[in-house]
């Protein structure tokens, strides 16, 4: 498929051609990153917000899941190019931005081929702002964000237990893998007010350098974990238990960190470093403070209760034993520990 986007010139009698050419113009690219064949371009717009809105609308018309997001936006001169593999082959894609279409295409092709394993990425679309004298200004380019994310991912501490590889530290991200930001409450007070409204959107709050999340953040399909990782399911925890020990007390002792616990310290024999960071929960009256720090560590799974859809699954280390339990989705915020995707 080849689609050439031809810029349109609007002639407004009251404004000279020189004045039109001097006005800055904005463009954007939206992509459904679960279906690389779904995309949307917008160009020659007076504002970046308008360009992004149009690109999202076009992309969502092609997307089966209405899951598009902005991956590239710019103003001034320059062209954006999007390359993807044939839909019946896979979903590999890539984009590029540069002063010329040719330069942008080189970048887009290189990125798409990295994702496709070198396969042909024949689908080609492009957009350029027309008659522009303003210099190229890249407002957003998630390719650059991904590069920084991959570098950061390479420095993540991990431990391998059996056939599983886990992060050896709690999650501290406020951005989904597609670049969308999660809502981060300014403080416990703001978080508390949001919880009382029974919100159903992804939410996080940072207290004493520790990040806490609600179930909607943990289960969101955009994935709050770093690239190559995901939030573990209930089954992932069960596999870990079967590998280490089916005895709740022994499992608790073997996995807990050697420091930070007010009671008997753990042995941390695998280096998973489970710390007692507590949680916040309005049902215990602790929605205005972190509850049981030093005594308990709780972690969301991405799994929903099989008996009541208002609950999500949460795993806890109590310092003496451990267990999986049902917790209200909109109620508490707890830690998240990510597992590497197979």
| Average pLDDT of the segment spanning 234-250 | 93
Beta bridge partners of 98: 79
Q: What share of the chain is helix, strand, coil (3-state, %, to 5)?
A: 25, 30, 45
| Average pLDDT of the segment spanning 228-253 | 92
Residue 17 has pLDDT above 60, yes or no: no
Whole-number Å distance between alpha carbons of 51 and 73: 8
Beta bridge partners of 324: 315
Q: What is the DSSP string of 241-252?
A: HHHH-SSHHHHH
- Return the domain boundaries, the chain: 2-148, 156-340
Residue 164 has pLDDT above 90, yes or no: yes
- Average pLDDT over all residues of the chain: 81
- Terminal-residue alpha carbon distance, the chain: 33
Query: How much is the pTM?
Result: 0.57
Residue 14 has pLDDT above 60, yes or no: no
| Average pLDDT of the segment spanning 151-164 | 79
pLDDT 10s digits, 191-209: 777 777 767 788 888 888 8
CB atoms within 10 A of CB 135: 11
Residue 324 has pLDDT above 50, yes or no: yes
pLDDT band of residue 96 (cuts 50, 70, 90) is very high
């Amino acid at each position: 498929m080849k689609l050439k986007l031809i810029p349109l010139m609007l002639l407004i009698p009251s404004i000279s051609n020189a004045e039109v050419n001097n006005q800055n113009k904005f463009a954007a690219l939206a992509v459904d990153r679960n279906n690389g064949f779904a995309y949307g371009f917008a160009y020659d717009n007076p504002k970046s917000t308008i360009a992004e809105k149009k690109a999202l609308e076009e992309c969502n018309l092609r997307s089966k899941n209405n899951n598009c997001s902005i991956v590239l936006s710019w103003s001034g001169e320059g062209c954006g190019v999007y390359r993807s593999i044939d839909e019946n082959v896979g979903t590999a894609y890539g984009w590029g931005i540069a002063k010329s279409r040719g330069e942008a295409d080189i970048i887009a092709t290189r990125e798409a081929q990295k994702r496709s394993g070198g396969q042909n990425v024949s689908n080609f679309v492009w957009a350029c702002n027309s008659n522009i004298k303003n210099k190229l200004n890249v407002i957003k380019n998630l390719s650059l964000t991904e590069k920084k994310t991959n570098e950061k991912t390479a420095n993540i501490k991990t431990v391998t237990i059996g056939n599983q590889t886990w992060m050896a530290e709690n999650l501290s991200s406020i951005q989904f893998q597609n670049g969308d930001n999660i809502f981060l409450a300014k403080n416990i007070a703001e978080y508390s007010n949001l919880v009382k409204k029974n919100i159903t959107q992804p939410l996080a709050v940072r207290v004493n350098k520790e990040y806490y999340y609600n179930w909607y953040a943990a289960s969101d399909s955009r994935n709050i974990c770093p690239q190559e990782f995901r939030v573990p399911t209930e089954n992932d925890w069960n596999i870990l238990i079967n590998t280490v020990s089916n005895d709740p007390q022994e499992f608790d002792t073997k996995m807990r960190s050697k420091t930070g616990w007010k009671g008997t310290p753990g042995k941390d024999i695998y280096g998973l470093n489970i710390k007692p960071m507590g949680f916040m929960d309005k049902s215990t009256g602790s929605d205005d403070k972190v509850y049981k720090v030093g005594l308990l560590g709780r972690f969301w799974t991405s799994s929903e209760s099989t008996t009541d859809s208002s609950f999500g699954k949460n795993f806890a280390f109590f310092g003496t034993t451990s267990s999986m339990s049902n917790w209200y989705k909109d109620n508490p915020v707890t830690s998240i520990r990510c597992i590497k995707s197979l």
